[in-house]
């Protein structure tokens, strides 16, 4: 195993491989967002590319193979490893068959095909990025995808170079086997076309380009569509019935339709904007961060989930987010459980008091919300904002609903907690795992790290959610069961 410190030495021995240390990935992404890669390595030579892949595969250094960065969302903290890019771009024809290297731009392949009177790719004119990435994500537009023309794909599987025919590539809508085997790297491809009239093909391409340029101005810092469209037949019947027939194109429902219904057009968070003319287009208007971008993406997904009960799937690829802080998944899951609880609580549930002088369910919920806010939400924020912050202690006695400005609406308190928590989780999503070692000083617990706090939070969460569920269950099924623990008395 080699370390990140040894990797440059071995990579530097490879002829034709250019290395840059601490290279800001914002320079290599169309969003112009993203912190540095420890090393950015680039080559035009296939053998150098494969040699670098071999070295990196045998080392413990993290590797990301990038194309031209038009579909990437890179974390603000960057990528702690090597980002490797291949720019070998040779294209050659043998009759109606074309061989192309993965580093060629898709547009140069489109232009080549048109110039040689080969039909089909003209509808893909203006799709940015390289051929390798286009095969990886089965890029396409106006009813055709690159897979329609692929005969063979040559790739490096980490040990040797192999060739797959079209069927073995398992192409689907915006997907291929290479998306599931992220360690397989495409080197070149063989495509086959029907003949066409170059002048007619060029005319069609020019028309399509004009439409695309109006939708995605060439200087726009974006990734095209953020979310994949949805296949109508795969949607729940209830949702299918909500989709107007004229919205469906080629059996797919544009994700923009679902987003549009939830009113997201024109939404902004800092420098990140949702286009006011296209709900599935998010761009960096200037100074936008990955954190803001993920917040907007999460908010869009949440709105569609709340409204339709379905999950939109990103077409874009995340880089540098996969090392997540511990306990984040559990906490993220509890946001959804809270959603369901909030939706399931009736007014009678909330007003129920187990005995005179005892807290009502609403007051118990306010207490839980308050405790969570002080114990976890504020402490997490403090730890992220400053070094070694003093952390507030919390005792049940200090809580009185009136002091904290709650108006007696337990549901509102829980909703507020839920919204605060979602905000914090969005923030945590963009933090590297190393931020788990940030610490704060607690008067009773002493030094506590963020990772410990999050574990504690996840543990408490499950307890609290059980408590809420229990309250509802008790009220519904055991109305005469008696008071809660003495703890839950108002001004004992």
In the complex, the smallest distance separating the C-beta of residue 231 from ligand FAD, rounded to whole angstroms, is 15
- Is 315 a catalytic site residue? yes
Kindly give, in sequence order, each residue whose CB lies less than 8 Å from that of residue 200, ignoring residues fewer than 6 positions away.
none
Structure letter (DSSP) for residue 170: T
221 binding ligand FAD? (CB under 6 A):
no
Catalytic residue among 174, 204, 305, 381: 174
Binding mask 91-120 for ligand FAD (x = CB under 6 A): -----------x------------------
Instruction: Tell me how many degrees the CA angle 125-126-128 measures, rounded to the nearest 5.
Output: 120
Binding mask 254-273 for ligand FAD (x = CB under 6 A): --------------------
Q: Binders of ligand FAD: how many residues, by CB under 6 A? A: 31
CA distances from 405 to 27, 402, 459 (A): 47, 5, 27
What CA–CA distance (Å, rounded) separates 222 from 225? 8
Q: Spell 406-440 as b/e; 16+ CB within 10 A means b.
A: beeebbbbbbbbbebbbebbbebbbbbeebbebbb
Question: Which member of 81, 128, 320, 410 binds ligand FAD (CB under 6 A)?
Answer: 128
What CA–CA distance (Å, rounded) separates 369 from 378? 12
Rg (CA), the chain: 27
87 binding ligand FAD? (CB under 6 A):
no
CA distances from 184 to 31, 50, 62, 155, 187 (A): 25, 11, 15, 6, 10
Question: Which member of 223, 325, 362, 375 binds ligand FAD (CB under 6 A)?
Answer: 223
Residue pair 14/45 in contact by the 8 Å Cβ criterion: no
Q: How many CB atoms lie within 10 A of CB 89?
A: 16
CB burial of residue 457 (10 Å; 0-12, 13-18, 19+): buried
In the complex, the smallest distance separating the C-beta of residue 206 from ligand FAD, rounded to whole angstroms, is 16
288 binding ligand FAD? (CB under 6 A):
no
User: φ and ψ at 351, to 5 degrees?
Assistant: -80, -15
Question: Which member of 35, 36, 69, 410 binds ligand FAD (CB under 6 A)?
Answer: 69
Question: Which member of 80, 137, 254, 432 binds ligand FAD (CB under 6 A)?
Answer: 137
Kindly give, in sequence order, each residue whose CB lies less than 8 Å from that of residue 193, ignoring residues fewer than 6 positions away.
96, 97, 98, 113, 118, 119, 120, 121, 149
Q: Which of residues 16-45 bind ligand FAD (CB under 6 A)?
A: 30
Closer Cβ to ligand FAD, 128 or 436, answer by number: 128
- Is 174 a catalytic site residue? yes
What CA–CA distance (Å, rounded) separates 56 from 6? 11
Catalytic residue among 26, 105, 145, 225: 225
Question: Which member of 34, 80, 140, 432 binds ligand FAD (CB under 6 A)?
Answer: 140
In the complex, the smallest distance separating the C-beta of residue 96 from ligand FAD, rounded to whole angstroms, is 23
275 binding ligand FAD? (CB under 6 A):
no
149 binding ligand FAD? (CB under 6 A):
no
Catalytic residue among 315, 363, 373, 429: 315
- Is 154 a catalytic site residue? no
Closer Cβ to ligand FAD, 216 or 376, answer by number: 216
Closer Cβ to ligand FAD, 225 or 360, answer by number: 225
What CA–CA distance (Å, rounded) separates 168 from 181? 13
Closer Cβ to ligand FAD, 217 or 357, answer by number: 217
Residue pair 67/127 in contact by the 8 Å Cβ criterion: no
74 binding ligand FAD? (CB under 6 A):
no
Among all residues, which ones are annotated catalytic? 174, 225, 315
Residues that bind ligand FAD (CB under 6 A): 30, 65-72, 86, 102, 127-130, 132-134, 136-137, 139-141, 178, 185-186, 216, 222-224, 317
């Amino acid at each position: 195993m080699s370390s990140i410190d040894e990797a440059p030495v071995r990579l530097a021995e490879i002829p034709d491989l250019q290395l840059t240390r601490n290279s800001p990935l914002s320079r290599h992404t169309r969003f112009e967002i993203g912190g540095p890669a420890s090393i950015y390595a680039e080559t035009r030579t296939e053998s150098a590319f494969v040699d670098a892949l071999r070295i990196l595969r045998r080392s413990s250094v993290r590797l990301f193979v990038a194309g031209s960065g038009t579909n990437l969302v890179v974390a603000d903290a960057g990528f702690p490893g090597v980002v490797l890019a291949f720019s070998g771009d040779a294209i050659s024809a043998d009759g109606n068959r074309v061989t192309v290297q993965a580093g060629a731009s898709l547009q140069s392949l489109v232009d080549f095909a048109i110039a040689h009177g080969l039909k089909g790719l003209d509808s893909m004119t203006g799709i940015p990025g390289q051929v390798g990435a286009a095969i990886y994500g089965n890029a396409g537009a106006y009813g055709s995808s690159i897979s329609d023309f692929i005969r063979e794909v040559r790739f490096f599987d980490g040990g040797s170079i192999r060739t797959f025919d079209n069927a073995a590539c398992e192409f689907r809508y915006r997907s291929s086997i290479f998306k599931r085997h992220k360690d397989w790297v495409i080197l070149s491809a063989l495509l086959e076309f029907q003949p066409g009239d170059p002048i007619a093909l060029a005319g069609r391409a020019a028309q399509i380009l004009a439409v695309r340029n109006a939708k995605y101005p060439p200087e726009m810092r974006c990734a095209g569509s953020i979310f994949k469209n949805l296949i109508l037949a795969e949607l729940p019947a209830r949702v299918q019935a909500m989709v107007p027939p004229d919205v469906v194109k080629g059996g797919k429902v544009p994700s923009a339709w679902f987003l549009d219904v939830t009113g997201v057009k024109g939404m902004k968070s800092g420098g990140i904007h949702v286009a006011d003319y296209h709900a599935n287009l998010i761009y960096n208007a200037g100074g936008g961060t990955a954190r803001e971008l993920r917040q907007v993406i999460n908010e869009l997904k949440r709105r569609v989930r709340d409204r339709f009960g379905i999950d939109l799937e990103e077409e874009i690829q995340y880089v540098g987010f996969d090392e997540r802080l511990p306990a984040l998944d559990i906490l993220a899951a509890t946001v959804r459980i809270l959603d369901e609880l909030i939706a399931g609580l009736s007014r009678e549930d909330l007003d129920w008091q187990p005995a005179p002088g005892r807290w009502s369910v609403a007051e118990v919920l306010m207490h839980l919300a308050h405790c969570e806010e002080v114990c976890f939400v504020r402490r997490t924020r403090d730890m992220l904002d400053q070094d070694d912050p003093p952390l507030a202690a919390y005792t049940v006695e200090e809580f009185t609903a009136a002091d904290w400005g709650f108006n007696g609406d337990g549901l509102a308190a829980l909703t507020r907690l839920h919204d605060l928590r979602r905000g914090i989780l969005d923030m945590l999503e963009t933090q590297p795992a190393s931020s788990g070692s940030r610490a704060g000083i607690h008067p009773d617990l002493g030094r506590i790290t963020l990772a410990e706090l999050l574990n504690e939070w996840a543990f408490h969460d499950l307890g609290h959610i059980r408590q809420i569920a229990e309250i509802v269950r008790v009220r519904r099924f055991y109305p005469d069961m008696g008071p809660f623990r003495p703890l839950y008395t108002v001004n004992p």
